[in-house]
């Protein structure tokens, strides 16, 4: 075989400066297989910044269109084309060029995918409900947010080599059972380097308990006979503790009286969205509520236990379907790393026919979209739902025979923005009697006057009893009936 080079054809594909150059070089080949004495050899060079376009497929059609044009331009002085054998051979050579191009693209695609994995660590924040992810901070103490802070985003992306601080404080890691805080370096995918060892983020770096902790403390407006807590987290770099919210609930009866938290504040920084900030790294080392209340509630919500409880009272066909949702759901979380708030016992909202209470969701959407700089909410439950039993008598609905864990008559929310506030009641079922209809009107409804209720006012959704009838009230008038709402000072008008 000779090493001389024959004639060549060069073409470019791409747009502007982002182009790829492909050269088809005819090398002299001493073989009877090529009567012309030359066979095409593919020599290609891809400009680095053109590779993403090529791999993504944006320029592939243009790329092969240029190859076809090139094939038509093959010079005629490479040998005689008189024999049929020579023409067939040229066609085979062209097919070979196209196959080589496809192979090159496939290799480039795999390399690009491999490089993407090498560049990033993808950290899941909620792989399942039994998992407690540590809080992830930068080395400077900034709580890291996902690239897209939507309610659906449940993972954080870190660059390979990036060093972070992982915190389970005041609790401990599962595998590193004596450690509350670890320094880690992203290697790739879910692998981090901790103490010079490769560790999987999910299997090796989970917390024994959630890093968003709650402690038993006095909370304004919560009676001494009830349990009151504050919940939040500690920043291990700045040694500050952030109280994200507070709750008041009745352990004996099994009802959440109220939860208080912020939804918006100023620039929505971590500091501004906290109810309080303490220069105390041990603040959440206080007394914690036990898991007994949550265990009892989980058992009460068991569908088989419900059937045994309700069928003798309401009959097989009319036994109610009781479920749970969250008072502070994902739409109201102010940071995606606060997902463990969803697991806290007082945050479980007992409801009848969860999928039918669409007005609860519409109200939360309207609150989230409220265009003011400051938004804080109080939310809770009131009353006991009544249904007709199999003897056509009115019966109160409790999950447990000892009249524990009542199904609320209504779910309420108070929205405050600085010196203005408004209260909402969402009823858990359609009224069955005229007396029930009258009891709904315990205040003068303001729903039609509130300009920011976009979802609830669409097609008069707030009046739909099947979706949860909504009552909109002035705060003090509301508190005369819903006494679970604590007194708050400084409110001078209605948030309309």
Tokens linked to 74: 């093959």
Give the pLDDT confidence score for residue 183 in this predicted structure.
98
Cβ within 8 Å of residue 280, ≥6 positions away: 239, 240, 241
Give the pLDDT confidence score for residue 429 in this predicted structure.
81
pLDDT in tens, 58-87: 444 444 445 444 444 445 455 555 555 665
187, 196 Cβ separation under 8 angstroms: no
Cβ within 8 Å of residue 161, ≥6 positions away: 185, 186
pLDDT along the chain (496 residues), means of 10: 44 40 39 38 37 42 48 50 58 65 61 54 80 94 82 84 96 95 96 96 93 97 97 97 98 97 95 97 94 94 92 92 94 92 95 90 96 97 94 94 94 98 92 64 93 96 93 97 96 96
Distance CA 1, CA 290 (A): 84
Give the pLDDT confidence score for residue 36 in this predicted structure.
40
Tokens linked to 197: 């060892």
b vs e for 233-256, b when ≥16 Cβ sit within 10 Å of the residue's Cβ?
Answer: bbbbbeebbbbbbbbbbbbeebbb
pLDDT in tens, 194-227: 999 999 999 999 999 999 999 999 999 999 999 9
Give me the helix-helix angle, 60-72 and 84-119, nearest 10°.
160
Give the pLDDT confidence score for residue 146 in this predicted structure.
86
Give the pLDDT confidence score for residue 418 in this predicted structure.
96
Give the pLDDT confidence score for residue 92 in this predicted structure.
65
Distance CA 496, CA 446 (A): 9
CA 265, 266, 269, 272 torsion-angle sign: negative
Distance CA 397, CA 3 (A): 92
Delineate the domains of the chain, giving CATH numbers in brackets.
121-205 (no CATH), 213-494 (3.40.570)
Give the pLDDT confidence score for residue 135 in this predicted structure.
97
- Strands 322-326 and 227-235, bridge-based pairing: unpaired
């Amino acid at each position: 075989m000779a090493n001389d080079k024959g004639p060549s054809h060069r073409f470019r594909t791409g747009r502007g400066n982002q182009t790829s150059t492909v050269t088809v070089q005819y090398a002299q080949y001493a073989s009877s297989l090529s009567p012309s004495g030359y066979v095409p050899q593919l020599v290609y060079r891809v400009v680095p910044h053109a590779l993403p376009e090529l791999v993504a497929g944006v320029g592939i059609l243009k790329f092969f269109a240029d190859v076809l044009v090139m094939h038509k331009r093959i010079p005629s002085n490479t040998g005689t084309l008189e024999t049929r054998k020579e023409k067939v051979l040229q066609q085979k050579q062209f097919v070979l060029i196209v196959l080589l191009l496809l192979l090159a693209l496939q290799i480039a695609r795999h390399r690009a995918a491999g490089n993407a994995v090498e560049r990033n660590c993808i950290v899941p924040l909620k792989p399942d409900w039994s998992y407690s992810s540590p809080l992830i901070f930068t080395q400077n103490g900034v709580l890291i947010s996902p690239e897209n802070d939507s309610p659906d985003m449940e993972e954080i992306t870190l660059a390979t080599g990036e060093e972070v601080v992982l915190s389970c404080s005041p609790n401990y890691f599962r595998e590193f059972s004596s450690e509350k805080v670890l320094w880690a370096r992203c290697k790739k995918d879910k692998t981090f380097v901790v103490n010079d060892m490769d560790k999987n983020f999910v299997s090796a770096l989970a917390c024994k308990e959630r890093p968003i902790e709650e402690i038993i403390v006095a909370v304004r407006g919560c009676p001494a006979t009830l349990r009151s807590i504050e919940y939040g987290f500690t920043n291990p770099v700045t040694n500050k503790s952030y109280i994200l919210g507070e709750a008041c609930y009745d352990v004996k009866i099994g009802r959440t009286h109220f939860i208080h938290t912020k939804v918006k504040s100023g620039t929505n920084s971590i500091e501004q969205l906290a109810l309080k900030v303490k220069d105390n790294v041990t603040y959440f080392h206080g007394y914690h509520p036990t898991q007994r209340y949550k265990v009892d509630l989980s058992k009460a919500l068991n569908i088989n236990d419900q059937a045994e409880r309700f069928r003798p009272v309401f009959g097989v066909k009319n036994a109610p379907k009781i479920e749970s949702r969250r008072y502070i759901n994902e739409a109201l979380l102010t940071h995606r790393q606060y997902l463990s708030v969803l697991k806290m016992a007082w945050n479980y909202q007992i409801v009848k026919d969860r999928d039918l209470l669409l007005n609860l969701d519409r109200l939360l959407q309207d609150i989230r979209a409220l265009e003011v700089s400051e938004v804080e909410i109080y939310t809770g439950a009131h009353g006991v739902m009544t249904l007709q039993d199999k003897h056509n008598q009115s019966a109160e609905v409790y999950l447990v025979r000892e009249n524990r864990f009542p199904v609320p008559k209504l779910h309420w929310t108070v929205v405050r923005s600085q010196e203005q506030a408004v209260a909402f009641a969402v009823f858990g079922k359609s009224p069955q009697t005229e007396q029930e209809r009258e009891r709904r009107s315990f205040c003068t409804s303001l729903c039609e006057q509130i300009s920011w209720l976009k979802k609830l006012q669409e097609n008069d959704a707030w009046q739909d009893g099947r979706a949860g009838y909504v009552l909109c009230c002035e705060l003090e008038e509301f508190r005369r009936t819903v006494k679970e709402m604590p007194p708050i000072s400084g409110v001078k008008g209605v948030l309309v």
